[in-house]
Structure 1
């Protein structure tokens, strides 16, 4: 007779991953206006297109889409039980594209494929690379991205597979960005959006200090991990993490990303949609009580298939417990400066 324990799942350890393994993630999730409201409660996000049906309809859209990072967090959360339940840290992202706007009433599910494996020198952990796709209720792909995560080994002495590190593009080509169908810039109200700055007002190399800071509270972080159904032990379980490397729970890296994106409104209010994730690194941990500041650098500019919309390639940097003054990122030796917690490279769509 099988034991009761055989019915439970302790999650995958590094040894459980094999190259090419397909993972169908459980628990599809229907998104509602409640998700929009909770997202706004958690992060100081003020982008007009994601806040108002009337604003979106004036721009030729049927209604206001949900924030792109709601979609990202929802899909990401589906993957956690299979990919990163036993993670030490989520390390980075690449080759991400947002392919279809999501609105209240849409349901999302996710699948991943293991595309790379590499044991770490300590023999206690390894890095797992997965390509994840999110689908809506019709089966259409709405989001795709690669991420890599450091996962604990079950037994240090277990043999490791030959290392495979996938080659990843440094950036999504501007020609591959998906822009909203029917978007008409003539209906875009810059006063209601909160700033007058168009695509042509930004210059490559320009840096923008977003000025504002946001202190992270334990309750907010726990609400967010539950909202996205993110059950990774490093974020969710103080009992286990009190004995871990830091002695306390880590703030979910996506929480940092959403805070930094929301803070970027002050200076990039008209960068209304994330179109692609070129790359991202969670540089250092964040804990409850820390305060997050952010700044951006314009890396590139491109035209899109819609003559009314331009694309800005932006580097979004988040720092903790220090302002963005001086735009700290890396030292002369190429190491990240003290306090840098996020280095995120993405394409944003902006009215021309």
Structure 2
């Protein structure tokens, strides 16, 4: 077929090399359009990301993008090189949000291959990458590790020596980056939507976020296109044996984070992602609910700013505070188990 050599079927497991650094195409300049679409797709209402005036009252120049807009943008750029032929995106670790991103900023995504291990079936393997987002000034805005199960092109291809990276169990509280100028001493809880501050949360507390959102195929497809995520399992119904399009895991993260407003309205800035797992697949028609557990608390050096370590769980069942069954495996209804640090007013 003429021109076939000009197209690319994506990378397969045997195409990765340990230590390889990949600069992902195409740079993306973010605008108010991304913000509006994000708020249209998810019930996102956190005041710091919605109002320039509220953000200025907290010491920032204007309202930065929701941290997950940045995550989705950087993640999406990496998909054609990392997970186009993925079976599943397995987990996250060592995620750090390093500086706010504002309308007009341009982001480039880069990944380093830090681990490889072929699966015992010889049909696929796991690839670990450290992905970073860099702005137009060359400043790193986000860094995270993720690992992906990727198909092999040739099951008989030689497997590399297994290398599994040694990843931190969590980001240390003292390693959290607080945006320059952030000052919550005059924080307005009335405008933010809830009175609950850092001191009102107790370690071990479990919060049912009450509301649910039924996922529509059209909304998921719009979201996946918005983040330019080209993974076949999200678009092509023939890419899976069951003939169903898999909902992008980031879509579930954003839904759960938005639902957490009810009970965590003052959890304004995601500072770090300690760990995350997409425990079970999600499909159109599923109704997503969420609950959170307070895992830890820490103060920061910034005026009026504290940090909460939270577990955010998305489920298709009734939020119960339970994750796993007696066999130690995730319960069937659990979609997401996300451990993260966030900044809140003291």
- Residue 138 of structure 1 aligns to a residue whose secondary structure is coil
Cα distance in 2 for residues equivalent to 1:211 and 1:48: 20
Q: Which residue of 1 aligns with 2:202?
A: 203
Cα distance in 1 for residues equivalent to 2:251 and 2:322: 21
Using the TM superposition, give the Cα deviation of residue 245 of structure 1 relative to its aligned residue in structure 2, in angstroms.
3.1
- Residue 150 of structure 1 aligns to a residue whose secondary structure is strand
Q: Which residue of 1 aligns with 2:340?
A: 346
Using the TM superposition, give the Cα deviation of residue 54 of structure 1 relative to its aligned residue in structure 2, in angstroms.
1.0
Q: Which residue of 1 aligns with 2:26?
A: 27
**Aligned 1:296-315 pairs, distance under 5 A:** 296-315=292-311
- Residue 185 of structure 2 aligns to a residue whose secondary structure is helix
Cα distance in 2 for residues equivalent to 1:313 and 1:250: 29
> TM-score w.r.t. structure 1 length?
0.97
Cα distance in 2 for residues equivalent to 1:185 and 1:112: 34
Cα distance in 1 for residues equivalent to 2:162 and 2:180: 42
Q: Which residue of 2 aligns with 1:323?
A: 318
Using the TM superposition, give the Cα deviation of residue 336 of structure 1 relative to its aligned residue in structure 2, in angstroms.
0.8
Moved over 4 A (4+): none
Q: Does 1:77 align with 2:76?
A: yes
Using the TM superposition, give the Cα deviation of residue 236 of structure 1 relative to its aligned residue in structure 2, in angstroms.
1.5
Q: Which residue of 1 aligns with 2:62?
A: 63
**How big is each residue's C-alpha offset from its partner over 1:315-338, in whole Å with a ceiling of 9 and x where there is no partner?**
101101x221x2221123311112
Cα distance in 2 for residues equivalent to 1:305 and 1:165: 35
Using the TM superposition, give the Cα deviation of residue 3 of structure 1 relative to its aligned residue in structure 2, in angstroms.
5.2
Q: Contact between 2:185 and 2:345, CA under 8 Å: does it hold in 1?
A: no
Cα distance in 2 for residues equivalent to 1:247 and 1:6: 29
Using the TM superposition, give the Cα deviation of residue 187 of structure 1 relative to its aligned residue in structure 2, in angstroms.
2.7
Equivalent of residue 275 in structure 1, options 271, 275, 287: 271
Using the TM superposition, give the Cα deviation of residue 297 of structure 1 relative to its aligned residue in structure 2, in angstroms.
0.4
Cα distance in 1 for residues equivalent to 2:67 and 2:242: 31
Cα distance in 1 for residues equivalent to 2:64 and 2:21: 30
Q: Contact between 1:328 and 1:340, CA under 8 Å: does it hold in 2?
A: no
**How big is each residue's C-alpha offset from its partner over 1:215-256, in whole Å with a ceiling of 9 and x where there is no partner?**
100000100111001000000222x32xx2332110000000
Equivalent of residue 328 in structure 2, options 322, 334, 341: 334
Cα distance in 1 for residues equivalent to 2:306 and 2:266: 11
- Residue 27 of structure 1 aligns to a residue whose secondary structure is strand
- Residue 200 of structure 1 aligns to a residue whose secondary structure is helix
Q: Contact between 2:209 and 2:259, CA under 8 Å: does it hold in 1?
A: yes
> TM-score w.r.t. structure 2 length?
0.98
Q: Contact between 2:182 and 2:303, CA under 8 Å: does it hold in 1?
A: no
- Residue 75 of structure 2 aligns to a residue whose secondary structure is helix
Q: Does 1:182 align with 2:181?
A: yes
**How big is each residue's C-alpha offset from its partner over 1:169-228, in whole Å with a ceiling of 9 and x where there is no partner?**
000011111112212213311011010000011011000000100010000010011100
Equivalent of residue 285 in structure 2, options 286, 289, 297: 289
**How big is each residue's C-alpha offset from its partner over 1:115-149, in whole Å with a ceiling of 9 and x where there is no partner?**
00111111111100000110000000000000000
Q: Contact between 1:281 and 1:343, CA under 8 Å: does it hold in 2?
A: yes
- Residue 40 of structure 1 aligns to a residue whose secondary structure is helix
**Aligned 1:126-137 pairs, distance under 5 A:** 126-137=125-136
Q: Which residue of 1 aligns with 2:218?
A: 219
